[in-house]
Amino acid sequence: MSTADEKGIKETVRGFILSSISIAKLDDDDNLFESGIVNSLFAVQLMTFIEKTFAIEVGMDDLDIENFKSLNATTAFVLQKNGHPNG
Amino acid sequence: MDKSRGQQLLTEAQKGRHEEFKSFARLEIEPFAEQWDREQRLPESVLAKLAKRGYLGCSLPREYDGQGWDTVTFGLLNEALGRGSSALTDVVTVQAMVSMVLLKWGTTEQKRKWLPPLAKGEMIGAFALTEPDAGSALQSLSTGFTKNSEGHALLLNGNKKWISCAQFAEVFLVFGILDQRSAACLVPRDTPGLHIEPISDLMGFRAAGLAQLHFHDMEVPTANLVGKPGFALSHVAPVGLHYGRISAACSALGLLRGCFEESITYAATRNIGDKTVGDLGMIRSLLARMGTDLRAGSLLCHNACCAEDDHLPDVFEKTLMAKYFTSRAAVGAASDAVQIRGASGCHGSSPVSRYYRDAKIMEIIEGTTQIHEDVLGKIFVDQAGRIAK
């Protein structure tokens, strides 16, 4: 995957998060779960969005907060699930 | 769902299944539901009939011996069964909750071991989340999981309460705390240290086999952990509760249809002097509200089930709305159905007296009405905030 792919994934996820929770902006490394702005409903919504949008399946082995804690983390997770070596 | 409107949205296969489900409910459930309610138990024979028809594993893929039906069909099943007996439908609800959690978060070995018997109805599951002091406030769970010195086994201590189907379930999905993190594990019924105490004389769902579970130094293999510790309340339980809400929303819709059908039949045939009950304007007002709620609830349930089939992120919001609406509408409809029938509606010879008691439970299971209002209200306020920006 190219840098353009990575940027596309990040902006797609950013758009979903900003449309789902009430925050004005989201930086690439902002920690979603430490900030207290999200709840468990958002956690499963984000998971479902990622599965649907990027045609991947989040399974038991992927249950790691490091995979979803920020935009950068989520982008890397999607890249890795799609077989990108730098994901 | 409601034939006159919802059927237009269904495929031919879904319509055919719905007719099959309704026929089953008319023949095998409705004539016996009062007796089950009175005796506070479901006979093994009706559970065997559900199993034989594949209803207990209808949402699971065929590779695990399920039927592989879509969620719309699952909703239609719950609606049809809900018309007959909320207590029996609760078995389908809980079976789906346990099964879908395992399908999503189970290991390969766990899926191979547990899903086929659950799909075939050879094994009934129960979702052991609620505790005496942790209902809506799940963060207050106190059931403790500790690992033994070798790390191969978990020791469970604590209590669960209001667990549907626990009187006859063969496996329990138990939620608790392991090293200060939420965790979930499978517990077979025959595990030493597990004591099951039936709960009787409930207001509604009297045949659903509710029980308390008591764990005293109960040992289960760590291989029975479902999902990773730390994610049981954020990812594991929500999958089960989500399927539970889809099922409960559609079951409440079936109960609502029962109230409507019983009421319009009574209104059209019960004479008062030279008029029928249905000639009275005040009764027509009640029927108008009931019939309109039935159509609206049908569309909300269909909308939620389609969103689940399309794997849309807003499925959780749509399901919350469907369950919120149909459970509240069912309570109102059941109250009005009793009112329309007068004294005969207060007696066990009429199903509306059971509907009245069961409907209230619908507002409590899989998240109370107030929890739904809190979550949905926040979603709507957040949406308004984003629009304002």
Question: Could you give the domains of chain B?
Answer: 3-119 (1.10.540.10), 125-229 (2.40.110.10), 233-381 (1.20.140.10)
Chain A, 52-81: which have a CB under 8 Å from a chain B CB? 52, 59-60, 63-65
Instruction: Report the C-alpha gap between B79 and B204 in whole angstroms.
Output: 18
Write down the pLDDT at residue A87: 52
Q: Determine, yes or no, domain membership for A38.
A: yes
SS3 state of residue B145: strand
| Chain B contact for A40 (CB, 8 A cutoff) | yes
Q: Determine, yes or no, domain membership for A20.
A: yes
CA atoms within 13 A on the CB side of A75: 24
User: For chain A, what is the radius of gyration of the CA atoms?
Assistant: 12
Tell which wins on pLDDT, A8 or A23. A8
Residue A61 domain boundaries: 3-81
Q: How many CB atoms lie within 10 A of CB B285?
A: 11
Q: Determine, yes or no, domain membership for A7.
A: yes
Write down the pLDDT at residue B2: 52
Q: Determine, yes or no, domain membership for A87.
A: no
Q: Determine, yes or no, domain membership for A36.
A: yes
CATH of the domain at A32: 1.10.1200.10
Considering only CA atoms, which of B88, B80, B72 is closest in space to residue B40?
Answer: B88
Q: Determine, yes or no, domain membership for A27.
A: yes
Write down the pLDDT at residue B147: 93
Write down the pLDDT at residue B148: 86
Interface of B with A (CB under 8 A): 104-107, 227-228, 230-231, 233-235, 238-239, 242, 310-316, 375, 381-382, 385-386, 389
Measured in whole angstroms, the distance separating CA A28 from the mean position of its chain's CA atoms is 10
Q: Determine, yes or no, domain membership for A53.
A: yes
Q: Which residues pair with B127 in a beta bridge?
A: B173
Considering only CA atoms, which of A52, A29, A37, A12 is closest in space to residue B309?
Answer: A52
Write down the pLDDT at residue B192: 98
pLDDT-above-70 percentage for chain A? 87
DSSP 8-state symbol, B307: H
Residue contact A63–B227, C-beta within 8 A: yes
Write down the pLDDT at residue B235: 93
* Ordered per-residue pLDDT tens for chain B, 389 residues: 555 544 578 999 999 999 999 999 999 999 999 999 999 999 999 999 999 999 999 999 999 999 999 999 999 999 999 999 999 999 999 999 999 999 999 999 999 999 999 999 999 999 999 999 887 777 789 999 999 888 899 999 999 999 999 999 999 999 999 999 999 999 999 999 999 999 999 999 999 999 999 999 999 999 999 999 999 999 999 999 999 999 999 999 999 999 999 999 999 999 999 999 999 999 999 999 999 999 999 999 999 999 999 999 999 999 999 999 999 999 999 999 999 999 999 998 899 999 999 999 999 999 999 999 999 998 898 888 776 76
Instruction: Tell me how many domains chain A contains.
Output: 1
Closest approach of chain A CAs to the CA of B386, in angstroms?
7
Q: Determine, yes or no, domain membership for A86.
A: no
What pTM did the predictor assign? 0.94
CB neighbour list of residue B121: distance below 8 Å, 6 or more residues apart: B47, B48, B50, B51, B52, B54, B55, B56, B57, B95
Alpha helices in chain B (DSSP H): 3-6, 12-24, 33-39, 44-52, 71-84, 86-105, 108-119, 237-269, 281-309, 315-341, 351-362, 369-388
